[in-house]
Structure 1
Amino acid sequence: MSEQARRVSTAGLYVPLLLGAVVTVTLGVYGSVHTPTGIAVNVAGFSSPQTVKVWLATGAALLALVQLVSALSMWGKLGSPPSWIGGLHRWSGRFAFLLTVPVAVHCLYALGFATYDTRTLAHSLFGCFFFGAFTVKMLSLPKRGLPGWTLPLLGGAVFTALIGLWLTSSFWYFTTIGVNL
């Protein structure tokens, strides 16, 4: 591929990258300037809003693992992919994202952008980055002619951010407070 053709094919990423950056920065700024309310999302059957977040995030992380395995299969890294793998990949991604929304609402509205220690700062940064990276990936999906590395890189960024979020929240909770509902 010529240098000019390569530049034209990557130019399709400019708008998604810009919008993803706007989402990332907007969430960070909102979380920083918004006065945390302490009011949280709660679901019947859980002992606290924190356990709701822990388990929703764990569900999202498990679905992210399904995303990773199904993506590897679709890209032929695990042999010949079954015909249903694309549907599994799309639906597991949709459900994973849906599980993150109430967690993000709680984190941003009730807690804000936290910088109490290294873990909470990393968690806040991963959260903002996750939604920005997700935005870039979703806006890049319908674009044709992008380089072959684009979707694996974007999917890897979304996966890494979500697992980083899980490690700095749910895993920390399970290892510090314990596993409970």
Structure 2
Amino acid sequence: MLDSDRETSAADRVVLLLVPLLIGSAVAVALGVYGRLHTPTGIAVSVAGFSSPQTVKVWLASGATLFALIQLFSALVMYGKIRWTSAPQWIAAAHRWSGRVAFLLSIPVAVHCLYALGVQSYDMRVLVHSVVGCLFFGAFTVKMLLLTRRGLPGWVLPLAGGVVFTALVTMWLTSSLWFFTTVGVQL
């Protein structure tokens, strides 16, 4: 292999990573700008069986976090970090579907947050929640774009998945857990 071939290959790998990172960054920034500039309506959709839109949001976020934990467990099995005599055939499907369900549960929560509340900064918990919420969707975009790329270093997808997972758990800690510990567990 010629030196110029290696340089092209290295340049291709940078592009493989850089393009998804730029697109994901644009998503996060666009959500943050929208959430900051949009005048919050205070109006949200409620779901029958729940006492308020806030409880809907809290429980959907909790469901998303539960499915994210399932995704983390299945990823650890697939990457051999949790020893199983042999990874069950269903583990990859469980990984994909738990991620899909977690993401789908997060969509109405994000819509509620951005439309009804906007990006707010009146205290540190709310600011962290707002910023990490925008970062979550940017990181998710990066991860989804990286899934279609071949030739990535082996550490890229686990890192992207770890960022998405960490952002989701941080959002849960700064919203649902806060709600459960200050308001109480309710439907």
Q: TM-score, normalised by structure 1?
A: 0.96
Moved over 4 A (4+): none
Equivalent residue number for residue 159 of structure 2 = 153
Structure 1: 5+ residue stretches without partners: none
Matching residue's letter, 2:21: L
Matching residue's letter, 1:63: F
Equivalent residue number for residue 63 of structure 1 = 67
Q: Aligned residue pairs: how many?
A: 180
Q: Tell whether the 8 Å contact from 1:10 to 1:147 is kept in structure 2 after alignment.
A: no
Matching residue's letter, 1:90: R
Percent identity between the two aligned chains: 67
Query: CA offsets, 1:11-43, max 9 Å, x none?
Result: 201111111000000000000000000111211
CA distance in 2, matches of 1:6, 1:116: 45
Equivalent residue number for residue 87 of structure 1 = 93
* 1:162-173 correspondence to structure 2 within 5 Å: 162-173=168-179
Q: How far off is 1:8 after superposition?
A: 3.0
What SS does the corresponding residue of 1:179 show, helix, strand or coil?
A: coil
RMSD: 1.2
Q: How far off is 1:78 after superposition?
A: 1.4
- Over alpha carbons, which structure has the higher Rg? 2
Structure 2: 5+ residue stretches without partners: none
2:42 equivalent among 38, 52, 57: 38
Q: How far off is 1:7 after superposition?
A: 4.4
CA distance in 2, matches of 1:53, 1:8: 41
Matching residue's letter, 2:101: F
1:111 equivalent among 114, 117, 120: 117
Q: Tell whether the 8 Å contact from 1:10 to 1:146 is kept in structure 2 after alignment.
A: no
Mean CA deviation greater in 3-12 or 92-101:
3-12
Q: TM-score, normalised by structure 2?
A: 0.93
Q: How far off is 1:6 after superposition?
A: 4.3
Q: How far off is 1:77 after superposition?
A: 1.2
